[in-house]
Amino acid sequence: MHAVFLDYKTVDAGDLDLESIRAVLPEIKVYPYSTEAEVLDRIQGIEVAIANKIEFDSKVFDYADKLRLICVTATGTNNIDLDSAEKAGVTICNIRDYCTESVTQHVLLSILSLSHSYFDYMHSIQRGEWQEGSGFSLLEHPIKELSGKKLGIVGFGVLGKGVAKAASILGMETLICESFNPDKPDGSLHRVGFDELLRESDVVSLHCPLTEETDDIFNDDAFEKMKSSAILINTARGGLVNDQALIKAIENKSIAGAAIDVLDQEPPDSDHPLMQKDYKNLIITPHIAWAARESRQRALDRIADNVEAFQRGKPINVVKPKAL
């Protein structure tokens, strides 16, 4: 099958093995990145397209007259016009449960760094405060135990469950938010409403998709309902959190801190609101929660599994518009 990988370097930093994909697509053409114009050129005559963050709009499907399968090296498919894909008869497959360990590590790192004032103490040493002090221990910044604290999880899929399991080892109690999808049954789990979760949680960790229902759910109103001692962790989608509302909450001390791994624009422009000022209790990382080498290799291998299943006529991990 004629195939193309349109943005390979968004997955591989030079430390991965592409052989699992080459085994099922021997003639695949691999491009590090592709502009919008290059996508239209490279997609023509192609049956299988693999991509991470490439936008597939109706125009792409008009050009891709032979396209049969798109494999996304991610779980989310916000970058694909699913209605146009369905009309064009193109199967869309994503990958699932490939980076749970990596994301869980990142969430725990974020919680521990903020609750233990880790970076504040590093900066204190850099400023010579410990060296010039009188005591054996520097106690300038607050440190909180996590045992007995409540972790609110918004989005209790594979990632949310992984984070809950890890947090339980630290003695944290989990609160699970009600689904924002009105068609998704919640009967098997005890869940709490979003407002209750905001009021009760000491830490809130986001793992839900970005939909019409979840867009900007963390706005001024949401931050006002949170504890002033609470921490927000977002490793899901940037659009879940309103940037201006977050800045206001940090500056007004409506919350104790936040760790943000995803933005509404990636990479951000230099004038992005969150790039304008450093806050000691706001950690921003460049969308790396998922990016352990093992997770990225697993992503490629799962893509190979998707392609092979499609070739056998039994596709797996198929994303349908009605399922979103």
The pLDDT profile of the chain, 324 residues, written as one tens digit per residue, is: 999 999 999 999 999 999 999 999 999 999 999 999 999 999 999 999 999 999 999 999 999 999 999 999 999 898 999 999 999 999 999 999 999 999 999 999 999 999 999 999 999 999 999 999 999 999 999 999 999 999 999 999 999 999 999 999 999 999 999 988 766 655 567 899 999 999 999 999 999 999 999 999 999 999 999 999 999 999 999 999 999 999 999 999 999 999 999 999 999 999 999 999 999 999 999 999 999 999 999 999 999 999 999 999 999 999 964 433
User: Which pLDDT score, from 0 to 100, does residue 217 have?
Assistant: 97
What does the domain layout of the chain look like in residue ranges? 3-98+293-323, 100-284
- Tokens describing residue 294: 């093992």
User: Which pLDDT score, from 0 to 100, does residue 324 have?
Assistant: 30
Residues in the chain, how many? 324
User: Which pLDDT score, from 0 to 100, does residue 322 have?
Assistant: 42
Return the SS3 of 289.
coil
Catalytic residue set: 237, 266, 287
Question: Alpha helix (H) ranges present in the chain?
Answer: 19-24, 36-42, 58-63, 82-88, 100-115, 118-126, 158-169, 194-200, 220-225, 243-251, 293-311
CA-CA distance, 200 to 259, in Å (whole number)? 19
CATH superfamily of 100-284: NAD(P)-binding Rossmann-like Domain (3.40.50.720)
User: Which pLDDT score, from 0 to 100, does residue 180 have?
Assistant: 83
CA-CA distance, 110 to 261, in Å (whole number)? 10
CA-CA distance, 25 to 30, in Å (whole number)? 11
- Tokens describing residue 10: 């968004």
User: Phi and psi of 205, rounded to 5°?
Assistant: -120, 130
183: Cα within 13 Å, side-chain hemisphere = 3
- Tokens describing residue 252: 């007004």
**Which residues lie closer than 8 Å to 136 by C-beta, 6 or more apart?**
none
User: Which pLDDT score, from 0 to 100, does residue 183 have?
Assistant: 64
> Contact 203/149 with Cβ under 8 angstroms?
yes
Examine domains 3-98+293-323 and 100-284 and report if their fold is the same.
Answer: yes
Location of structure tokens 């850099």: 126
CA 247 from centroid of its chain's CA atoms: 20
User: Which pLDDT score, from 0 to 100, does residue 10 have?
Assistant: 97
Question: Alpha helix (H) ranges present in 136-228?
Answer: 158-169, 194-200, 220-225
Please enumerate, as own/partner, the contacts of 75-82 that have beta carbons within 8 Å and a separation of 24 or more.
Answer: 76/209, 76/210, 76/237, 77/319, 77/324, 78/209, 78/210, 78/237, 79/51, 79/53, 79/54, 79/55, 80/55, 80/56, 81/56, 81/57, 82/319, 82/320, 82/321, 82/324
Which residue, 262, 197, 181, 249, is CA-closest to 220? Answer: 249
CATH superfamily of 3-98+293-323: NAD(P)-binding Rossmann-like Domain (3.40.50.720)
